[in-house]
Amino acid sequence: MIWIDYTDPTPIYEQIVSKYKNLIVRNVLTPGEKMPSVRSLAMELSINPNTIQKAYAELERQGFIYTVKGRGNFVAENTNLKDMKQAEILEKLEGLLRETEEAGVEISVLTDYINSRHKDI
């Protein structure tokens, strides 16, 4: 379901975290669905199981999955996920606003663009 980009300098476990986050937020993986076991994912991707373990721990810490002892990892209910994603997007927007300001570009250029694209999306 996911694949690792070895040319990307971001650590492998971070790639796993972000790819699964993506799948969960987009509802490709639905709440209550079982995540692949650490062992099977490690075999499938040919990577260290400890790396998968770390990624899962991080996904759990961020609230995307939960662990049932003896049964495995499952996708969490996503009532908060959309909000979290929204917050992430707004944060990126903040960064873009700063760039816009620094570049001397008018904010109205951004708002016009958003309005014109709003109809298409």
Positions that interact with other proteins (CB under 8 A)? 6, 9-13, 37-39, 42-44, 46-50, 54, 102
Smallest separation (angstroms) from other proteins to the CB of 105: 15
Around Cβ 11, how many Cβ atoms within 10 Å? Answer: 12
Candidates 6, 49, 1, 9; CA nearest to 26 is 1
Q: Residue 36 and residue 38: Cα distance in Å, rounded?
A: 6
Smallest separation (angstroms) from other proteins to the CB of 100: 14
Judged by CB, which is closer to other proteins: 48, or 111?
48
Helix (H, G, I), strand (E, B) or coil at 34: strand
Judged by CB, which is closer to other proteins: 21, or 54?
54
Judged by CB, which is closer to other proteins: 24, or 58?
58
